[in-house]
Amino acid sequence: MTLHRWPPAVPPDELGAVVHGPVILARATGIVAGLRCVFAYSTGIFLPLVLRAEGVYAEAASRQAFGPHGEPITDSNDTRSWSLPQVHIEVNDQAGFTDSSGGSSSGGENSFEMQADHWIDELPRDGRVTITVAWPQAGLPESRTTLVLEGLDDLHERVLPLL
């Protein structure tokens, strides 16, 4: 299994099928992480995650994400920064960490939003995907969620070719 951050390796010649609806992955006072949906393609799954924070949690998230001078923290200026949300994904008895440094972020003193898209280059054989999310530096404790994806059996009929 290979995890990719944005831009994902989503097949350009097909539209994926929605195999799981939105779900809250982790929540604490003033901060929440969610999964918009899971799209399945013939060669893998696409996971668009979002994190939002308000009030003091937005201020903490902004400090963690943008650094002391307001510049975004990325792998190039802060190697594997643990000050960003951590996402651990398990599929087919394989697991991997990914971070959100490649996603888009915006925020300030009262609100913060981060979006990070993830591509997994295989389909789960048992239909299960386990996602663990944590960002303790911004007030979000570790939370683990196992999703059971629907409609993988007839996926070849549900994924629409573009041409």
Query: Residue 31: which pLDDT band, with cuts at 50, 70 and 90?
Result: very high
Residue 70 structure tokens: 């307001």
More confident residue, 3 or 136: 136
pLDDT above 90 (res 157): yes
**SS3 state of residue 133:** strand
pLDDT of 42 = 92
Residue 18 structure tokens: 């929605």
Burial of 6 (0-12, 13-18, 19+ CB in 10 A): middle
pLDDT of 77 = 43
**Mean pLDDT over each residue of the chain, to the nearest integer:** 83
pLDDT above 90 (res 50): yes
Query: Residue 3: which pLDDT band, with cuts at 50, 70 and 90?
Result: low
pLDDT of 5 = 57
* Cα separations in angstroms, 77 against 36, 71, 81: 29, 10, 9
